[in-house]
Amino acid sequence: MTDTAPLIELRQVAKVYGAGMAAVHALREVDLRIDQGDFVAVMGPSGSGKSTAMNILGCLDAPTSGSYCFRGVRVEHLTRDQRALLRRHYLGFVFQGFNLLARTSALENVELPLLYRGLHASARRAAARAALASVGLSGWESHAPAELSGGQQQRVAIARALVTRPAVLLADEPTGNLDTARSREIMELLRALQSERGITIIMVTHEADMAAYARRIVRFLDGRVASDTLNGTLAA
Amino acid sequence: MIWNALLLSLREIRRNLTRSFLTVLGIMIGVSAVITMVTLGNGATRAVQDQIASLGSNLIILRPGQRLGPGGGVGAPNFKLADAQAIESQVSGVEAVAPSIARSATIVRMARNWTSSVTGSTNAFFATGNWTLAEGRYFNDTEERAGRAVCVIGETVRRELFGAQSPIGGDMRIKQFSCEVIGLLASKGQSTFGMDQDDVIVMPLRTVQRRLTGSQDVNSIRISVQEGVSVDRAMAAVQQLMRERRKIGANEDNNFNLMDTRQIAETLTGTTRVLTMLLGAVAAVSLIVGGIGIMNIMLVSVTERTREIGIRLAIGALERDVLLQFLIEAVTLACLGGIIGIVLATVASYQLAQMMQVPFLFDARINVVSFLFSAAIGVVFGYFPARRAARLDPIEALRHE
């Protein structure tokens, strides 16, 4: 492809849980490059290592061996707090279960990541409103998660991930708890973010329908990358 | 960052109002108990001090027996009138010497009766006790020498026996004899712990000795020292004189005791202070128990909010951000408990002070100390749950159901 430094580069990454006879090799010698602005779907059966790979890509976990280069930074050498700072500044997370704070308004949920950036209350509020507007939830700011539908909750979660203007959005089965129509809305939203804002999106999914929205599909099997293909059926 | 954490913790407290209230209940009760006990104790100490101050600062009281209090006088001979006269003539710097003997008696006037203490003494009694007349007069020489049946009464006795009338010239019946009231003492007003200073009947010494006690004994001598004369020196001189008169050998202990008002004040206030400290300490234990309550609820809260902690860690909270958040939440709760406790204590100790008839003394220091103590309890008992929260693994925490 090009010779510019990739955003993300995994080299010979392995992850082993436990030790000795009980050791579980969740990842074995994984090599993966992801460029800025890509939209990657990660697929594979359960136990294939895709969740472990996501945790490592999201800097939530460190590899047992191999190297992970994020924007030229060797993540495997970072401390727990340094990885937290990396997440704070460059990464956004969207989870299958939404993971919003209960009894807390949508606006306050979206403001949450900004609290750790030391922004003023007025700046926080403005940014959170803008993020909610960008996911089509203007006017729902004061609603608590329990008062929102599943699709709306996931939009709030996406707004929370976007509010810090991250380089990468990591989505772990973002449509897993939603019906087909809601799922399509969420996927359209993600694709728009990728194409309009150039946000790199890495998404784990079970469903081929959802993976079809991605530009590239990486399949995991037994802790290895089994296939890495460009998506031919990319919808116009 | 601290401001944010404070904001977060206030949000969290508001989100769980009932639980927050139950959490701070222990601290609230602890703080209010400590402050109430200490405030009332201070009031009681002040009441005792005031009462003694009304006796005058230059008073020495001489009693038989080695120590003050019940049983202290057993076996020690009483004084005689001659002892008082000897002190007056031989000790320099003495202003007045009042030998006295008291007996409890029931006094009857028409349909009313009242039991009080009848004191036999001289006019010096009024001078040494800082008494002034409201009406009438003191004893004259003839009444003192002849032991006439006349008396000077206090305000309480007048109220109980004479109602709204003036008592001067009125008759009261004490045991088998009738007694004329010649004077009414101005009220001293203080009444604490059931000790009413105005509940007093004074007769000439000889009258009481002859008609009530039937002996020549005097059981206490009050000596007031002239202004500018050292009370300590006068006490030493009185002690020397009494040892000689009572023929006490060089190696023997006194069989009488001498106290000046300062010592009496110290003895009594010492007692109330010890009691205050004791009650305060018991209350402080309840404050610590309140801290354990905070720790319990915070630990529950950390478990319950594991997912939330996971989210915070995932979106970039550092360990110390989470630690600070939970620590500040605990401290905020403890401080809120402290503030409510202070308000409760102020109301409670004001009401109780009225009921117990002691002055209400707002002690800023104990309020500040209790508040700081409750904040410190928040830090100490909040640290362990906060550290547990901060050390959670974000992946595990996010999976937590």
Render each residue's pLDDT in chain B as its tens digit; 401 residues.
Answer: 677 778 778 888 888 888 889 888 989 999 999 999 999 988 888 888 777 777 766 888 898 887 655 555 556 788 888 899 999 899 888 889 999 998 888 999 888 889 988 999 999 998 888 888 998 999 998 998 888 999 999 998 998 898 888 889 989 998 888 999 999 999 887 655 556 788 899 999 999 999 888 888 898 999 998 888 888 889 899 999 999 888 888 888 888 888 888 787 788 888 888 888 898 888 888 888 888 988 998 899 899 889 999 999 999 899 998 999 899 999 999 999 999 999 999 999 999 998 888 889 888 999 999 999 999 999 999 999 999 999 999 999 998 87
Q: Is A118 part of the contact surface with chain B (CB cutoff 8 Å)? A: yes
Are residues B328 and B279 part of one domain? yes
- Are B316 and A104 a contacting pair at CB < 8 A? no
* 8 A C-beta contact, residue A153 and residue A104: no
User: Is B380 contained in some domain?
Assistant: yes
Cβ-defined contact of A116 to B316 (cutoff 8 Å): yes
Residues B295 and B365 in one domain: yes
Unique residue bearing structure tokens 């203490």: B117
Q: Look at residues A131, A200, A88 and name the one whose alpha carbon lies nearest to residue B315.
A: A88
B396 CB neighbour count, 10 Å cutoff: 10
Contact list in A for residue B2 (CB cut-off 8 A) is: none
Same domain, B327 and B242: no
Phi-psi category of A30—alpha, beta or left, where left has phi over 0 and alpha has psi -120 to 50?
Answer: beta
B73 phi and psi, to 5 degrees? Answer: -100, 0
| CA B348 to the chain's CA centroid | 17
Structure tokens at A125: 């509020």
Measure the CA–CA gap between B40 and B38, rounded to whole angstroms.
6
Phi/psi at B90 (5° precision): -105, -20
3-state secondary structure of B285: helix
Choosing from B254, B282, B301, the residue where a domain stops is B254
End-to-end CA distance of chain A: 23
CB–CB contact B311 A101 (8 Å): yes
Which residue of B8, B305, B312, B315 to mutate against A (max A Cβ within 10 Å)? B315
Answer for the pair B303, B389: CB distance below 8 angstroms, yes or no.
Answer: no
pLDDT tens per residue, range B42-52: 888 888 877 77
Helix, strand, coil content of chain B in percent (nearest 5) = 55, 20, 25
User: Is residue B207 located within the same domain as residue B300?
Assistant: no
Task: Classify domain A8-100+165-230 by CATH number.
Answer: 3.40.50.300
Q: Inter-chain contact B398–A99, Cβ cutoff 8 Å? A: yes
Closest CA to A160 of A214, A209, A87, A216: A87
- Domain-embedded: residue B64: no
B160-191 as b/e: b if 16+ CB within 10 A: bbbeeeebbebebebeeeebebbbbbebbebb
Question: B55, B127 in Cβ contact below 8 A?
Answer: no
DSSP character for B253?
P
Given A81, A103, A112, which is nearest B315 (Cβ)?
Answer: A112
- Mark yes or no for CB contact A81/B310 under 8 Å: no
Option in A55, A99, A115 nearest B395 (CB): A55
Question: How far apart (Å, rounded) are the C-alpha atoms in residues A95 and A171?
Answer: 6
Query: Which residues lie closer than 8 Å to B70 by C-beta, 6 or more apart?
Result: none
- Asked if A81 lies within 8 A of B394 by C-beta distance, the reply is no
In this structure, are B306 and B353 located in the same domain?
A: yes
Helix (H, G, I), strand (E, B) or coil at B345: helix
- Tell me, rounded to whole angstroms, the distance of Cα A51 from its chain centroid: 11
Which residues of chain A make contact with B11, given a CB cutoff of 8 A? 104, 108
Q: Are residues B281 and B387 in the same domain?
A: yes
Whether residue B234 is found in the same domain as residue B85: yes
According to the model, what pLDDT value does residue B75 have?
67
How close B4 comes to chain A (CA, Å)? 7
Report helix, strand or coil for B397. helix
Torsion sign over Cα A62, A68, A73, A77 = positive
How far is residue B204's CA from residue B148's CA, in Å, rounded to a whole number? Answer: 7
For chain A, domain boundaries? 8-100+165-230
- Tell which of A46, A57, A60 to mutate to test the B interface (max B CBs under 10 Å): A60
Separation between Cα atoms, residue B119 and residue B208, nearest integer Å: 7
A99 touches chain B (CB under 8 A): yes
- Label each residue of B34-90 as H, E or C: HHHHHHHHHHHHHHHHHHHHCCCCCEEEEEECCCCCCCCCCCCCCEEHHHHHHHHHH
pLDDT (tens digit per residue) in B350-380: 999 988 888 898 889 999 999 999 999 999 9
- Residues 6+ positions from A112 with CB-CB distance below 8 Å: A101, A160, B311, B312, B315
* Contact check, Cβ <8 Å, A112/B11: no
Residue A236 pLDDT:
38
Instruction: Check residue B212 and report its DSSP letter.
Output: I
Phi, psi (rounded to 5 degrees) for B119: -105, 130
B268 Ramachandran zone, left/alpha/beta (phi>0; psi -120 to 50): alpha
3-state secondary structure A114-147: HHCCCCCHHHHHHHHHHHHHHCCCCCCCCCCHHH
CA angle B164, B170, B176 (to 5 degrees): 125
- Examine the domain organization and report whether B132 and B173 are in the same domain: yes
DSSP, collapsed to helix, strand or coil, labels residue B233 as: helix
Residues of A in contact with B308 (CB under 8 A): 101
C-beta separation of A223 from A28 below 8 A: yes
Of B230, B254, B278, which closes a domain? Answer: B254
B319:A81 CB<8 A: yes
In this structure, is residue B381 part of a structural domain? yes
- Whether B122 and B144 have beta carbons less than 8 Å apart is answered as yes
Residue B58 placed within a domain? no
Cβ–Cβ under 8 Å, residues B33 and B288 = no
**To which residue do tokens 């003050």 refer?**
B68
Same domain, B370 and B290: yes
DSSP per-residue letters across B3-27 = HHHHHHHHHHHHHTHHHHHHHHHHH
Q: What is the ipTM of this complex?
A: 0.91
Chain A nearest CA to B22, separation (Å): 20
Domain range for B365 is 2-51+267-399
Residue A221 CA to residue A219 CA, distance in Å, equals 7
- Structure letter (DSSP) for residue B200: -
pLDDT for position B5 = 77
Total domains, chain B: 2
Residue B71 resides in a domain: no
Last residue of a domain, one of B190, B224, B254: B254
**How would you write the pLDDT of chain A (236 residues) with one tens digit per residue?**
444 678 999 999 999 998 888 889 999 999 999 999 999 999 999 889 999 999 999 999 999 999 999 998 999 999 999 999 999 999 999 998 889 988 889 999 999 899 888 888 899 999 999 999 999 999 999 999 999 999 999 999 999 999 999 999 999 999 988 899 999 999 999 999 999 999 999 999 989 999 999 999 999 999 999 999 998 654 43
* Sequence-distant contacts of B265-268: CB under 8 A, at least 24 apart: B265/B48, B265/B49, B265/B52, B265/B53, B267/B68, B268/B48, B268/B52
Determine whether the interchain pair B319/A55 forms a contact, defined as Cβ–Cβ distance below 8 Å. no
pLDDT at A235: 43
The Cα angle at residue B311 between residues B308 and B317, in degrees rounded to 5: 105
Please indicate, yes or no, if residue B272 is contained in any of the structural domains. Answer: yes
Residues of chain A contacting B321 with CB distance shorter than 8 Å? 116
CA angle A192, A197, A199 (to 5 degrees): 90
Q: Would an 8 Å CB–CB cutoff place A166 in contact with chain B?
A: no
Q: Both B218 and B287 in a single domain?
A: no
CB within 8 A of B266, min separation 6: which ones?
none
Structure-token match 């905070």, residue found: B294
Same domain for B130 and B38, yes or no, is: no
Q: Which of B11, B314, B318 sits opposite A60 (nearest CB)?
A: B314
Same domain, B240 and B277: no
A207 has a chain B CB within 8 A of its CB: no
